[in-house]
Amino acid sequence: MSLSVNHMRQAVSVSPTSGQGNSGRRRRAVIVGSLGYSLVNFRLDLMRRFQANGYDVVALAAEIDAETARILDENGIAHREIPMNRTGTNPLSDLASLWALVRALREEKPELVLAYTMKPIVYACLAAQLVGIRSRYALFTGLGYAFMEDRPTGRRRFVRAASVWLHRIALRRLTLAFCYNRADRRDIRTYRLIPDRVPLHDIPGSGVDTARFSATPIPQGPVRFLFVGRLLRSKGLALLAEAAKCLKSEGLEFELDILGPTDSNPDAIAPEQLKAWQDDGLLRYRGATNDVVPFLHASSVMVLPTSLREGIPRSILEAMSCGRAVITTDAPGCGETIEHGVSGFVVPRDDVQALAGAMRSFIEMPTRAVTMGAAARELVCSRNDIHQVNAKLMQLMGIEPVRYASGARKTDPVADAEVACQVSEVALS
């Protein structure tokens, strides 16, 4: 099952000796996620870092499509598809997931298991406990649906109670846990999802490749706002369309691009509604893409008016890395990602007037996009660079020694010089 592993990877300079077991065989790490594409989109660099430290890596997830499998194979990462309904509450389905994970871990015999997102954390860590794997790590990327409300009722109350009970059973012998934001940290401790003795470390999101998401000057012309995400009402799309309508009624000139996949969720924006907004001239739907970089570079400001409980939205980090200011809400995981008034604006959830006001400030003073975008780039490079984030994870798991202080950044001299030049021009104008 295991494939050959490439020891040396880009931007990773570590000794592989830590992955050598007493028997002389390479150690094995199993990474468990809920969906196949997330293994490549969010964890590929982390899995490469495990390899650079001398580990064979096995990736487990549901729905590993052909493209994901190809990328994993090219990187020498073994993979298995695990049945898992990430949003369902059918206990028989969840038992099937648990049994599949138990079988996989028995066969792979890893030294450690790292699981991320809700169901993989519960069932992979429980499976690892049943199999006898001693090193078990949980990466909480967001607590999601069950913890959206302080005092849930009806079905959500039942889901929360079940979720709390399952976490307590599955994570009672956890080695270490990580979380992304203050709200998640509070609830993990309040509801005792992990034992009090288990350390819980703050991690600044999944990180962003600041070299790939390079900074570029803000395009000339009318301010262009960009939304990136699933087409859901809870992501703030209806609110954003209403804000655009208000601004258009004032005769203000701007553009609003929407980028992201449609969704079968009951909360999804209907195709007829999306078409109506386009026909009214409020926005342009640009479809879905696997490469957001050209769209970010063509934009002036990123806007994500979500009401959802997010971990730390990758879309915000990618926009900041490209030197784009951000408008977002005070939803957990979003507002704390930027500095209000410095690298963007944080507005209250579900407040169309506040959202329109933040957008208006860029339309009436386009130079704000330049100065705030530069501040956003500086912040994300100092705090959220993917190599720094992964190094911190490896160090906390004891796989790598602490090599440098957090805050050191990988620079992109050419791109940053271009943006600095644009900022200077704004300052002199």
> DSSP of 115-147, one letter per residue?
EESHHHHHHHHHHHHHHT--EEEEEES--GGGG
**For position 171, what pLDDT does the model report?**
97
Half-sphere exposure of 235 (CA within 13 A, CB side): 23
Residue 19: pLDDT band with limits 50, 70, 90: low
**For position 86, what pLDDT does the model report?**
72
Residue 363: pLDDT band with limits 50, 70, 90: very high
**For position 4, what pLDDT does the model report?**
32
**For position 429, what pLDDT does the model report?**
45
Least confident of 61-70, 124-133, 403-412: 403-412
Least confident of 73-82, 98-107, 399-408: 399-408
CA–CA distance, 262 with 367 (Å, rounded to integer): 33
SS3 assignment, position 315: helix
**For position 410, what pLDDT does the model report?**
41
**For position 23, what pLDDT does the model report?**
53
**For position 260, what pLDDT does the model report?**
94
pLDDT at 417 over 60: no
**For position 326, what pLDDT does the model report?**
98
Residue 11: pLDDT band with limits 50, 70, 90: very low
Q: Mean of the per-residue pLDDT values for the chain?
A: 88
In this structure, what DSSP letter does residue 217 have?
Answer: P
CA–CA distance, 6 with 3 (Å, rounded to integer): 10
Cβ-contact 224, 295 below 8 angstroms:
no
Question: How are strands ordered across the β-sheet holding 301-304?
Answer: 284-285, 255-259, 224-228, 301-304, 325-329, 344-347
**For position 373, what pLDDT does the model report?**
98
DSSP H helix total and E strand total for the chain: 14, 13
Domains of the chain: 16-202 (3.40.50.2000), 224-383 (3.40.50.2000)
pLDDT at 276 over 70: yes
Least confident of 220-224, 316-320, 420-424: 420-424
**For position 428, what pLDDT does the model report?**
40
CA–CA distance, 61 with 120 (Å, rounded to integer): 8
pLDDT in tens, 288-318: 998 999 999 999 999 999 998 888 999 999 9
**For position 308, what pLDDT does the model report?**
86
pLDDT at 264 over 90: no
Closest CA to 62 of 89, 38, 34, 87: 34
Query: What's the mean pLDDT in 336-364?
Result: 96
Residue 199: pLDDT band with limits 50, 70, 90: very high
**Continuous segment of H or E residues that includes residue 52:** helix 36-52
pLDDT at 17 over 70: no
**How many CB atoms neighbour CB 91 within 10 A?**
9
pLDDT at 52 over 90: yes
Query: What's the mean pLDDT in 4-9?
Result: 33
Closest CA to 272 of 231, 327, 226, 308: 231
Most confident of 91-95, 194-198, 417-421: 194-198
Residue 16: pLDDT band with limits 50, 70, 90: very low
Least confident of 50-59, 101-110, 266-275: 266-275
pLDDT at 18 over 90: no
**For position 22, what pLDDT does the model report?**
47
**For position 12, what pLDDT does the model report?**
43
**For position 130, what pLDDT does the model report?**
97
The CA-CA-CA angle for residues 150, 152, 158, to 5°, reads: 130
**For position 21, what pLDDT does the model report?**
53
Residue 1: pLDDT band with limits 50, 70, 90: very low
**Continuous segment of H or E residues that includes residue 98:** helix 91-108
Query: What's the mean pLDDT in 127-147?
Result: 92
